[in-house]
Structures are given as C-alpha cells and as structure tokens.
Amino acid sequence: MAPVKNVLFIMADQLRADYLGCAGSAALHTPHIDALAAEGVRFTNAFCNAPVCGPSRASFYTGRYVMSHGGNYNNFPLRVDEWTLADHLAPLEVRTALVGKTHMKPDLAGMARLGIDPVSAIGLQLKHTGFEPFEHDDGLHPTPSFDPDMAYNRYLRAHGYVADNPWHDFANSAADTDGQVLSGWSMRHAGLPARVAEEHSETAYMTDRALAFIDAAGDQRWCLHLSYIKPHWPYMAPAPYHALYGPGDIPPANRTEAERAAPHPVTAAFMTHGESQCFAEEECRRTVIPTYMGLIAQIDAHLGRLFEHLKKTGQWDDTLIVFTSDHGDYLGDHWLGEKELFHEESVRIPMILRDPRATADASRGTVSSALVEAIDLVPTFLDALDDGRADRDAAVTRLEGRSLAPLITGAETPWRDAVFAECDFCFRHARRTLGLAPHEARGFMVRTARWKYIYWPRHQAQLFDLANDPGELNDLGGDASHAAVRADMRDRLLSWMALRRNRVTLTDGRIEASTGKAKERGYLFGVW
C-alpha cells in the first residue's frame, strides 16, 4: 500500500467520547467532525492509557504504556531516552510539528547528565517531546508567573488586549455589568462570554497557526499535531458560543444516590475534591455543561475552515486525519469532577480516523466497536507514512500499540480482546485522605467487551458488568458470586504487566541473531 503524504493529528483536551453529534449527542451540533466520521471510521471503544493529560499524551506520543515510559503524572518528565513519534518518522524525512498543547515536562535533569544544552537543536527537540515547536502553548496559566510572554499573550496584546496576562484577563475571564473582571476559574461565571472576540480566542488562534504551518510546509511531507487547549477548563467561551446551548440541552447526570451513600474508598476520596463538590450541585452542571458544549461547537467550526483549506490546496486527498482527545471529563457523573479514575466518562475517548487512500474506501462511514488504545496511533502513523525507510526493528522493540490499518482496510487480523489504563494520583489530596504513601497511590484497569476490572494496591478491587450495567452504577468488587470473574480479570492484568516492553536497548532482531551463538564467540563453557 502506497504511503500517504501527510498526517493531521488533531487532539481536543478533555473531550468526552459521547459529546459529539456523530456519537449520539441529542443537542450538540458538530457537522464538520461528523462529516469527517462519514469519510472515515469512528471507533466507539477507544481508550486513553491514563485519564490525565501528561501521562495520556506521553502514551499517545511514544506508543507505549505508562508503565513502560514512566511519565506517570503531570510534571513527571518523559525520560530523555524515550523515542517519540518524531523519532520514528525521522528516517522518513517527515516534518513532525506541534501547534498547541503537549502538557509534557522535559527531562532537564537527564539532559544535564548527558551534557545536552536545552537551547541546542537536540535540546529543543527533547524539550518539546520530539516535535518541532511551530507553536507550543499549554495554556492553563492563571497568573503570569508561568509564561506571561507566550506567543498567544503577545498576539492578544497586539490586538488591543492589554494586561500582564491577557490569556487570563481576556481569553478566560468575563466581565460584570460594571466592567469588573470575573475569572473563568470560578465555574459560576461559565455562562458568561469571554472578554475576547471569537476571532482572537485560543481555538481560533491555534487554527490560524495550523493553517500557517501547512502553508509554510509547502511540498514537504509533514505530520502536524494540532492540539487544542479546549474544552478543558477554565470553562469560558467567547460569544456566540457561550450561549449556543442551555440547561435544557444537557443530558441528565449518570449517578445514583447509592453511589454517593456507599462509594468505593478511592472514589470517596475523590468525591471530597473541590471540583467534585462543585459538580455534585445541579446548578454547577447547568451552568458549566452548556459552555463545555459551546467550546466543542467552536472547535468543530474551526476544523471546518481547516478542512476546507486542505481541500482547496489539494491536500485533502493525501492527508490522513485523526481526531481524538487525551481523556474525558466527569462533569458530575458518578458525583465526580475532572477525570483520573476509570469510569467510561473519564477513560473512553473519541477516535475518528480518515485514511484518504482507496484501500480504505470499504470502511468509509463505518463505526467500529474494536477495542483500540491511544498507543495505537504512533504505529498507525508509521504504517501510513512509511516509504520503506522506517526503522522497523526499533518500532517492533519499543512500540506496544498496534497499527489500526487492518481495521481500516478490512484485512483479516486477530485483534486484542482487552484494553488497559493506569492512574497515579500521588500529587492529589485523595492520596492523603486514604493514608497512602506516594508509591501506593496507583490504580490499573483492564476492560474487555463485557467486564471492567480495576485493581487498587491497598483497597478492594472494582468490577463492573458493562453488558448489564453500562452506566457502571453497581460495583461488583465485593460480590461473592463474581469471584471467578475477578480472578480471571486479575490474571489478565498480571499477564499484561509481565509483558511490558522495557528491554529497548537491543532490538528483537539483534537478540534473535545472537541467540545460541555463544560458542562461536569463544565462550566454551559446557564442553566436557
């Protein structure tokens, strides 16, 4: 199969799998994303490998599980020796660039140990997770102490938004009737319009920068990671998107009083967090979720102009496009806010893949229930772009994901029957509530088509029967009649843990070539 020329890797931050028109949302209007799905494959059982920004993205970028790459949580540096997408694409001379967010922390200590200057060409590549930083902007800065001079702030000042940190004061704040700034960090303000014009908002700006990259790349092959900051909090949308939806458009909360009355200890600890306390109140949900939906609609609108540009420039027909998210958002379901735990609202993600080649024509507009993972994208991109020069031995040795190409082309191939995810909540107050040491604050999920099993090192396991309880409202972790199921799922988890690809300094090919050759190299032990 001939390679595609380019890859457009689009990620929205904290976008739930069920908050798209094509995913069945009754009110949300996402025509451009829906049209992408109509030309590709929409995967209904796609999962991130860690429901937190940093570790999830590390798995997306390396094609490896968290246990393997070690970037366990936000602010855990990805080790300097980890291969990322750019490393796998380098032999193909593909320009691998970033516009937007990575939420990755560079391994500055590792760079110092190796004598790598962070501002050198190699240092800058490592600092930006292998990507060329055409526009690296993680957002999420409540004060100017982080990076008050980031490019987006300079852009806002140039357009008349004068402040020490216009990202906060304009793009993520509203104003009362007296003109006083109302911070978007307070969720009670979510229903008000941001103080920035829509054309100057984060989503519009990042789309502009993606268009600039595509035009600058010319005829060069590229892989562009367009990583939107929204709909992640602060939940603040510019007009008119702040008012597109109202309380009547939001789905009812997926939760029961029984969940709150007798929660699992880990869930109970997370229920005490401020975001969970807020979203436990219906007023918060009715205020925030319409804005969350508006932010999604805004992303969709700007993807529309991006897709139109690709069509006008003739690149639509040779560009593979993926649309996904790093994790979901509880939004009050299960009496929780944010993400991090393993309910479907948190760990299941949207995944749409459009392959422009004729070999994918049979799958266009289809929906796949195959179990897929975030780690599958690096091998998928490598397959799509490979012109015969890729280092396949290194890929086989390191990559733990599987190319989605067989699911797109209809090729007969055995597929996985389970997916896995991890969480590390060592930085979260829930750890102290539970009385855990930092290394104990971990959890692991294995999910099959029917069962979801969650292992906590210091607490009872959880089990959900997804066939009979798709909302995950009845925890069977202590149910005696399901002991055999729990044992089987625990065995699956143990087998998965035992097979991680941590031996990466020698390829499997070199190991095979050297096996049984000791005597040829002069090691004569064992001769009588």
Domain assignment present for 46: yes
Average pLDDT, the chain: 95
Domain assignment present for 518: no
Domain assignment present for 11: no
DSSP annotation string for 349-405: E-EEEE--SGGGGGGTTEEEEEEEEGGGHHHHHHHHH-SS-S-HHHHHHH--S--SH
How many structural domains comprise the chain? 1
The pTM for the full model equals 0.97
- HSE, side-chain direction, 13 A CA sphere, residue 210: 29
Domain assignment present for 419: yes
Domain assignment present for 9: no
Q: How far apart are CA 391 and CA 346, in angstroms?
A: 35
Helix axes 53-62, 377-385, angle to 10 degrees: 30
pLDDT in tens, 188-228: 999 999 999 999 999 999 999 999 999 999 999 999 999 99
* CATH code of the domain covering residue 149: 3.40.720.10
pLDDT in tens, 442-473: 999 999 999 999 999 999 999 999 999 999 99
Domain assignment present for 8: no
Neighbours of 337 (CB within 10 A): 26
Q: Find out whether 7 and 384 touch, Cβ atoms under 8 Å.
A: yes
Q: Find out whether 117 and 124 touch, Cβ atoms under 8 Å.
A: no
Q: How far apart are CA 129 and CA 13, in angstroms?
A: 17
Give the residue from 265, 260, 284 showing the smallest Cα distance to 431.
265
Is residue 431 helix, strand or coil? helix
Domain that holds residue 77: 16-511
Taking only the tens of pLDDT, the chain with its 528 residues reads 689 999 999 999 999 999 999 999 999 999 999 999 999 999 999 999 999 999 999 999 999 999 999 999 998 999 999 999 999 999 999 999 999 999 988 999 999 999 999 999 999 889 899 999 999 998 866 565 556 678 999 999 999 999 989 999 999 999 999 999 999 999 999 999 999 999 999 999 999 999 999 999 999 999 999 999 999 999 999 999 999 999 999 999 999 999 999 999 999 999 999 999 999 999 999 999 999 999 999 999 999 999 999 999 999 999 999 999 999 999 999 999 999 999 999 999 999 999 999 999 999 999 999 999 999 999 999 999 999 999 998 899 999 999 999 999 999 899 999 999 999 999 999 999 999 999 999 999 999 999 999 999 999 999 999 999 999 999 999 999 999 999 999 999 999 999 999 888 888 888 888 999 988 888 888 889
Domain assignment present for 6: no
Domain assignment present for 517: no
